[in-house]
Amino acid sequence: MNGNVMAAEMAEQPAVLARLVARAPQDAEAVGMIVPRPLAGIVLLARGSSDNAAVLGRYLTELAAGRPAGLAAPSLYTRYRAQVDWRGYLVVALSQSGATPEIVTTCRTVRTAGAAVVGITNVADSELASASDVVLAADAGLEHAIPATKTVTAQMLLLITVAQALGPVDATAEQLLELPAAVKGILDDSRPIDLLADRWAQVDRLVVAGRGLGYAAALECALKVKETTGILAEGISTADLRHGPIAAVNAGAPVLLVDAGGPVLRDLADLRRLLTDRHAEMSTLPLGSPLPELLQVLMAVVRGQQLARALALVRRVDPDTPATLTKITLTA
């Protein structure tokens, strides 16, 4: 019950990210060759942790392309048999295994209806790959722990590459080269997370809040804590938290803030003041890097992985194989 498998796979992330950064110009060129002209919009298709990565992709691609981007609803195609004209759209489908039936089925449907499809998967010869026009392989190696770690940050980095194929992104090539070392620095410094896990060892609820690009990290951190420990963790936008969900904080749920910087800094500051006024239990994920917001998001995801594993261990839960969960969920 020591979570060694999860820890080992987390430790592989700097090497995985370095490989993808080195490959990024070629990957961006391959994506650019299939982008529809004119581009009507971008739609991202995923489930689970991949869906949280897709939230980041939704922000990045809309910013880069200057075209609308959104998240697909697979059940429209697998259950409701929707007939939709997809001409002019770029669809980015994410599946770590490349085997999720509803993702593969939806890809085939929208591709037949005119969409250009980019598949992001850790299995280059998967069914998703065969249903895509271009495949971006995560190249993360086998992932044995049930909580996805290295495949998630790999997907997020590949989504940055997709955005680069569509337009400018807020990270230079030099800053991307710095990312693997920055992630290694996070992994080598677990003390602040261990202290937080000790402090929150007995909580049964947790609110994880972020805004903008950091919202994706909040969703993924909450999912990791939820699936690894059984704590009822909810990822939420700071804007949404200020409405009805603030009642959960009033009832005693602690709040974990994801502060990746960027244009949403004032929103985080306003929420901190509100939580302080309400005497809420609150902490902020420690990042401490000069890298731009979109790269800080990946670092926040790694911190969330650390927290999930540490909380599981202090609660005497095996983070490698959480009860009732399986590595691949074959939703159709």
In a domain, 331, yes or no: no
Residue 265 and residue 291 share a domain: yes
In a domain, 261, yes or no: yes
In a domain, 86, yes or no: yes
Residue 294 and residue 206 share a domain: yes
Domain that holds residue 91: 4-169
Q: Tokens 């759209």 sit at which residue?
A: 89
- 3-state DSSP assignment of residue 73: coil
- What's the token pair of residue 220? 């993924």
CATH code (residue 63): 3.40.50.10490
Consecutive H or E run containing 202? none
Residue 193 and residue 165 share a domain: no
Cβ distance 46 to 55 under 8 Å? no
Cβ distance 210 to 238 under 8 Å? yes
Final residue belonging to a domain, choices 134, 169, 204: 169
Residue 147 and residue 91 share a domain: yes
- 3-state DSSP assignment of residue 282: strand
Cβ distance 234 to 193 under 8 Å? no
Cβ distance 232 to 258 under 8 Å? no
Residue 184 and residue 67 share a domain: no
Residue 121 and residue 61 share a domain: yes
Provide the number of structural domains found in the chain: 2
The pLDDT value given to residue 81: 95
- 3-state DSSP assignment of residue 15: helix
Q: What is the pTM of this model?
A: 0.95
Per-residue pLDDT of the chain (332 residues; tens, 9 = 90+): 578 999 999 999 999 999 999 999 999 999 999 999 999 999 999 999 999 999 999 999 999 999 999 999 999 999 999 999 999 999 999 999 999 999 999 999 999 999 999 999 999 999 999 999 999 999 999 999 999 999 999 999 999 999 999 999 999 999 999 999 999 999 999 999 999 999 999 999 999 999 999 999 999 999 999 999 999 999 999 999 988 778 778 778 899 999 999 999 999 999 999 999 988 999 999 998 899 999 999 999 999 999 999 999 999 999 998 776 665 666 76
Cβ distance 232 to 259 under 8 Å? no
Residue 130 and residue 197 share a domain: no
Residue 159 and residue 183 share a domain: no
